[in-house]
A and B are shown apart, each in its own frame.
Chain A
Amino acid sequence: MKSIQKKLALASCTLLSHGLPNAAQAAEGEDWAVDGSLLHYAEEDRITVNKFIGTLVTNVSESDKVKVDLVYDTMSGSTPSGALDSAGSFATVSTPSGAGGFSASSGSTSIADFEDTRLGVSLDWEHTKKRVHRINYGSSISVEKDFTSFGVNTNYAQDTSSRIVTYSAGIAATFDSVRRSTGGTPEPFTEYGDGQSLDEGSRVTWDTIFGVTRVLNRRTLGQINFSTGLSEGYLTDPYKLISRTLNLSETHTYFEDRPSSRQRSSVYMSMAHTTRHDNVMHLSYRYYWDDWDIVSNTIDYRLKFRYEGGFFIEPHFRYYDQTAANFYMFSIPQETYQLSGFPEYASADYRLDQMEGTTVGINIGKTFPGKGKLRFRVEQIEWIYDNSLFDTNKALVVQLSYKKLFE
């Protein structure tokens, strides 16, 4: 089961962090740069994802740069559905085989098995005018069994004549289509197993970003970005469930329901600094808030130690926290239900719960100046949830990447 959040952010992902080639990513002298990566993501007892990513950047002319990305994912394993059993823990209700992707053999609706592959392609063109103006056009497409996404974005950046300050502004639009792998989307708050199915869900997301980057001193670069976005349409996860426990032996499990609109904003600050010991430090902080009442803080810190021969070792630390969405609940309280029926919206998706996450990792590699870069990293992520069936989720990330430059 994939989270809606991932898809909601496809536009942001493309526009904001990846779709735009930086001046130095395929350094101006080299005509081609190819970067390939293999990533393995494995949660303890849950999902495993293997990704292959390929990127090609080329200078088609003195003022034009084109970038093509290809991503191929395979996902498998199981994930919490949000459902509970009578005792408020693992559901043991037997499920109709094949419905909604649940495994009949596990006999549980609290954990759902799934398997999927995804293919994504994106294309980006950057045009430079009069040295200081850069305009970027990007588009992307992503396809998997139960999700299709198409996005376009454009970004404009301008340097001051001294090249000390860069101002940028961008906008992105993403169109997604969501459905269960068995087709359609479930009618919200209908009982799981009743098989009420509605049409495929669709939504549109608009994102804008404004940023300023400034050279603070010879060894420091700083940036601040303000972004805001609006998603409208089907924002529910068609697989996720929520339970209502009457007593020790009776639990009803329903399909969840989320609002059809979400407005989000963030302030992001980032810095790159070379220390007196010639190590490169990257530090960033993001403050995020949306109209689902989720407020979040993210801190990311890396320190790169550089050695002779182009070798480097870079430890990494990330801290994340968020408050719960205002319609997040562990289960539908029986008292509330008796008084006024279903709440307007409700979800037991742990990704909307109040949580903290920490990541610790190490990246090691070797730079071949003018020729390429090889790097390998291992990271361990741990999330702790305040009010979910599963208290924690641990994941291991292993990634190997190699970039080659061609004249």
Chain B
Amino acid sequence: MSVLSKSVITALFSVFLIYSGHANAEKAPGFSLKGDRGQISLQKLRGKVVYLDFWASWCVPCRKSFPWMNKMQQKYKSKGLVVVGINLDESQADAKNFLKQVPGNFTMAYDPQGKTPGKYKVEVMPTSYLIDRRGNLVHTHRGFKKSKADKMEAEIQALLSKK
């Protein structure tokens, strides 16, 4: 396949993803939560593509999702991806213990009172959301399955290529 054909296919696929994303164009609910170094606010992340993940220390699939999220953050940081993990443990000690065993090399926010997941209508743990540069909530992923990782990565790429 020539380079030109490959580019055309990628472009068409991205356009498809962009338009399928637009079908869901609603603003992602705002939040301002305590992080490891100061407040984390969604408003301040406007212009970036945000992968927002709700997790807890007792959520077993989260152990598998963290290495993947670390990989995504590292790979696409320069292109403008910000991975934000919102921890929902009632006790911060539990979260810290988890992070000692399973490191999270992305932005951490803590919501022990669980105010944010309600706004996002979280139905299952974990749930992740992809928010575009304009603050629209484009994709929702319930649970974490390794088999869906490639599809999610393509979605990230598509949103990163949009202005």
Verify whether A and B have any Cβ pair under 8 Å.
yes
| Chain A residues at the B interface, C-beta cutoff of 8 Å | 27-29, 62, 131, 161-163, 370
* CB of B143 within 8 Å of the partner chain: yes
Which of B39-47, B60-68, B155-163 lines the interface with chain A?
B60-68
Q: In the bound complex, how far is the Cα of B113 from the Cα of A359, in angstroms?
A: 43
Q: Chain B residues with Cβ under 8 A from A163's Cβ?
A: 124
| Chain B residues at the A interface, C-beta cutoff of 8 Å | 60-61, 63-64, 101, 123-124, 142-143, 145-147
Given A161-B123, A163-B124, A370-B101, A131-B143 contact (CB < 8 Å): yes
User: Closest approach, in angstroms, between the C-beta of B150 and any C-beta of chain A?
Assistant: 14
Q: Is the CB of B63 within 8 A of A29?
A: yes
Partner of A29, one of B60, B142, B145: B60
Closest to B97 in A: A369
Main secondary structure of the interface of A (DSSP, over half): loop
Given A62-B145, A131-B142, A28-B61 contact (CB < 8 Å): yes
Q: Chain B residues with Cβ under 8 A from A62's Cβ?
A: 145-147
Q: Is the CB of A162 within 8 A of B123?
A: yes
Q: Is the CB of B123 within 8 A of A29?
A: no
Q: Is the CB of A28 within 8 A of B60?
A: yes
Closest to A162 in B: B123
Q: In the bound complex, how far is the Cα of B143 from the Cα of A155, in angstroms?
A: 24
Q: Chain A residues with Cβ under 8 A from B63's Cβ?
A: 29
Given A62-B145, A62-B146, A62-B147, A131-B61 contact (CB < 8 Å): no
User: Closest approach, in angstroms, between the C-beta of B139 and any C-beta of chain A?
Assistant: 17
Contacts A/B (CB < 8 Å), 17 sampled: A27-B60, A28-B60, A28-B61, A29-B60, A29-B61, A29-B63, A29-B64, A62-B145, A62-B146, A62-B147, A131-B124, A131-B142, A131-B143, A161-B123, A162-B123, A163-B124, A370-B101
Q: Chain B residues with Cβ under 8 A from A29's Cβ?
A: 60-61, 63-64
Q: In the bound complex, how far is the Cα of B97 from the Cα of A370, in angstroms?
A: 13
User: Closest approach, in angstroms, between the C-beta of A358 and any C-beta of chain B?
Assistant: 36
User: Closest approach, in angstroms, between the C-beta of A219 and any C-beta of chain B?
Assistant: 12
User: Closest approach, in angstroms, between the C-beta of A280 and any C-beta of chain B?
Assistant: 15
Which of B60, B64, B142, B146: most chain A Cβ within 10 A? B60
Q: In the bound complex, how far is the Cα of B124 from the Cα of A162, in angstroms?
A: 8
Q: Chain A residues with Cβ under 8 A from B101's Cβ?
A: 370
A-B pairs, top 8 by smallest CB distance, nearest first, are: A29-B60, A28-B60, A29-B63, A27-B60, A62-B145, A62-B147, A28-B61, A29-B64
Q: Chain B residues with Cβ under 8 A from A131's Cβ?
A: 124, 142-143
Which of A29, A161, A162, A370: most chain B Cβ within 10 A? A29
